[in-house]
Structure 1
Amino acid sequence: MRRILFLIITTLPMIALSQQSFERAVIETATGAYIVFTNDSNSMVIYLDTADIELMDTENNFFIQVDKKWTLQFFTLSFQNPNNNDLSNLDNQKSSLFQYMNYELEYIKNEIKMNIENEKVFWGPLGNKHFLLWHFDTPDLPAVQKQLYMTAICFNSFLNINVPLMNDQEYVDGVELLNRVGRNLVLHDHPIDIEEMYKKVNGS
């Protein structure tokens, strides 16, 4: 229970939009793990090269501890595109991601009533996708310096990757961790059978 409470305090899940339904799994390998999201139509796979990984799934929140010191949160949110914008166009992607980020920041300030400071945002390519990297200071959380997020549009969802930067951790290391995750994201236009993937990865 203490671990769950700690996670709730130190991570800031985005709850303003409805979560997209994906089956989720972590498939460990000899050198790291595959993080898998799949539904009836599509799938996303991230390979994370790490010596130590632990799944801490608390019902609706998907937490993964990496290298015994980082807590990554992964979550997907439904993306509405009422104007049917062409999302293969990077300007449209960027505009939609900025709108989403601003919506979430306002939600944190006005609904959660949390003070946030020093908001920063960066946009650019990483691996096979363009991501929005955004972060802010959290003075209301004594143990946490910043909340770091990377967000991309994947199929009809926002894929969010979050890591809280604790007081004893370095900003550049937190950003590099997010970069490690983001550059290994692979999208598939088909579902993945998690049991079959596990057998294939582990040679069984």
Structure 2
Amino acid sequence: MACMHNHSCEEHECGSQWSLYKHIDFPRVSALNESVAGSVKAVFKSWDHRLDNSSECLESNEDDPELIVYIPFTSDVKIKSISVIGGTEGTSPSRMRAFINRDGIDFSDAQEMAPVQEWELAENVQGELEYQTKYSRFQGVANLTLHFPENFGAETTKIIYIGLRGEATQIKRDVVATIVYEALPNPSDHKLPSETGGTSQVL
């Protein structure tokens, strides 16, 4: 479902609500079928700069409008809505499909797998639309993959901005891994009597 974003952003503090880009693991962000390698990273920016198209945008290869965008996070996040600003003259994506916590999705996978949610997109060149998620399904998101299978008839697809509204947990991804690792029992700390020649107590 798309909602109009037509209020005063200063009064509603939109900048803070659309701040999940600060929790993106930028070195690991990637896209499939981008015409310029690494250009996908330019579409993640602050809400205040969402209409700034002076910098590089994400564009698909010529005669192939399909795009896949992989977005890993530095901490688990909860995503309430997504905003996508595309190009003009039919280059905006017309459909978006989301996959959660799945690494390495390619175009074959995306076509065969059922997405967590799918949206029909409008040409949102003014950044006035946001697409609500099924919020209960977008909890504990470590990475998000967005599949844009088609556009409004142009030979290429262009994306200027992808915004994510929600909140992040306080636990960083590397910290979670450390906690899990340290929680595993160390066999050397729990030796059996036959291994030590005496008695031992397992705490």
Query: Is the shorter-chain TM-score for this pair beyond 0.5, marking a shared fold?
Result: no
Q: Structure 1 or 2: larger strand share?
A: 1
Larger RCO: Structure 1 or Structure 2 (Cα < 8 Å, ≥ 6 residues apart)?
2
TM-score (norm 2): 0.30
